[in-house]
Structure 1
């Protein structure tokens, strides 16, 4: 995708507002909770940061995705959980506090892991003359775009909690709609690319989504975590921050490649339906246990 004034000016702004909205929902207690109850957070992070990228790599290879699509899928795998995971976890009677802790910690860790995974993916999947890895300066841009607004949002919440509570929902809705407009305009411009690759990458995205939900739920259960925590981790890992992946792929300052955004765009449509079915299934099977109040 060629750089355009629309993307250059507004995409980083939209992403910054989205991360600001995330910061408005976080407090230092969300990070302190990790120190108090580290085991479920560490299990969730190990699944999300280590296991999922490895499985995603195998999926990209197994489906023989085009290089840019493979990198886009890996970009999605490296992205932290989306804030919608909190809502889905709540509806499915999961441990929402664990979701919030995982989102907070993984958003920080992703500043380091995301550029690393993207760089390695580009070097592996793309030819030397095609690969444009994230250089140190661009890594700093990712740091500023992701962590800067989150820190500002957390500071605003700590100083002006009433204002933060009132602005939390409008900021999230407004930024999501704004980003949606930018993405729609960008894909309209490259619609032929979307039509060409969507059927190919759609099944890979669905496979990755189902594996993400399965890993997030089954690994904690095998490691004897409580059911509510397994549900929370399943939602956290199954619902990736697709908006972050799309924004990084489309941004002219970073990857500047609309094809890399296609896996995240398709995944973002799929995940809300599969997460809803997952929540229904786990409550159908374990409804009595999940209906009990939290201790």
Structure 2
């Protein structure tokens, strides 16, 4: 069963990114790099500000040390496919969202081990290191994000009639696929102690909700201070608020091997897609008001 999921989940994510790619053009990405202020701002916020906020919340909240590490781990895992899809649903700058995903997926090879190992030392007095494989990460981001988007992009530019016919259906199909992925990952990860303690540990949902909504609003405000235009600033806000829960679950279960750390990521994944979508929608509507 586990081996089947390891194959089907990446394929499902790749289908989502292919569908998003169908709505893009080469001009969309040209804007990102010709005017790099938005992507540089987004990367700085994701890789520096987010973990700092995670550390702050973990430090002041009265929680078990392992839960504190889980909060920091979530904050250290920048948004992936889910944030790309939310940007797509809300008509944000999808090319910016995907570019942020592509860049931070390589940069986290250095930031996650440093940040998470530091959190374990501070909160759990543990010197355990958190290694990430370069080639595994390279393959994952290539197979699930870059190549599918490129295929969709090429189809959009060279077979635009076919792409236009698919687009109305994909707007409903893609979110459904992502929700199934969240469900499968979450159910597969809940077991043993995590499953039995889930009802008693929902108190950690409060700081996680604060992390989610707080970072969305902070990201939006800072992007506005840097003069990022409205569609860029709420896209950055989405990237700030919606973290890569699947990656956090993997690190917590396979590398740190702590069910309490995994539980934090599971709880975060259970609501963050919906809250980010809702707050992001509110910000996008605010920007459209005269």
| TM bucket, shorter chain | 0.7 to 0.9
Partner of 1:293: none
Q: Which residue of 1 aligns with 2:230?
A: 227
Instruction: Give the 5 Å matches for 1:1-295.
Output: 6-7=1-2, 9-21=3-15, 23-24=17-18, 25-26=20-21, 29=26, 30-85=28-83, 88-89=86-87, 96-97=92-93, 99-114=94-109, 116-126=111-121, 131-134=128-131, 138-157=133-152, 169=170, 173-174=176-177, 176-189=179-192, 190-199=194-203, 201-250=204-253, 252=254, 254-279=255-280, 281-282=282-283, 288-289=289-290
Question: Which secondary structure state, in structure 2, belongs to the residue aligned with residue 224 of structure 1?
Answer: coil
- Aligned-residue offset at 1:158: 5.3
Q: CA RMSD in A?
A: 3.6
1:82, distance to aligned residue in structure 2 (A): 4.4
TM-score when normalising by structure 2: 0.75
> TM-score, length-normalised on structure 1?
0.74
Unaligned 5+ runs, structure 1: 1-5, 290-295
Alpha-carbon displacement from aligned partner over 1:12-70 (angstroms, at most 9, x marks no partner): 33452254235423468354332122112221221112111111111112225434323
Higher relative contact order (CA 8 A, sep 6+): 1
- Residues matched between the structures, number: 275
The residue matched to 1:240 in structure 2 has which SS?
Answer: coil
Residue 203 of structure 1 deviates from its aligned partner by 1.6
Q: Secondary structure at the match of 1:221?
A: helix
Q: 1:118–1:133: 8 Å Cα contact kept in structure 2?
A: yes
Cα distance in 1, alignment partners of residues 278 and 176 from structure 2: 24
| 1:262 to partner: Cα distance | 2.2
> Judging changes above 3 Å, is the alpha-carbon distance between structure 1 residues 100 and 240 closer, same or farther for their aligned structure 2 residues?
farther
Q: 1:84 to 1:77 in 2, by over 3 A?
A: same
Q: CA-to-partner distance for each residue in 1:124-174, whole Å, 9 max, x for gaps?
A: 425576725215xx3432332233332432453356556888599457744
Q: Structure 2: how far apart are the matches of 1:281 and 1:83?
A: 21
Q: In 2 relative to 1, CA 100–265 (structure 1 residues): closer, same or farther, beyond 3 Å?
A: farther
1:219 to partner: Cα distance: 0.5
Maintained 8 Å contact 1:248/1:255? yes
Q: Cα gap change, 1:21/1:164 in structure 2, threshold over 3 Å: closer, same or farther? A: farther
Looking at structure 2, the residues matched to 53 and 70 of structure 1 have their Cα atoms a distance apart, in angstroms, of 12
3-state SS of paired residue (2:128): coil
For the residue of structure 2 that corresponds to 1:80, the secondary structure is coil
In the alignment, is the contact (CA less than 8 A) between 1:239 and 1:272 conserved in 2?
yes
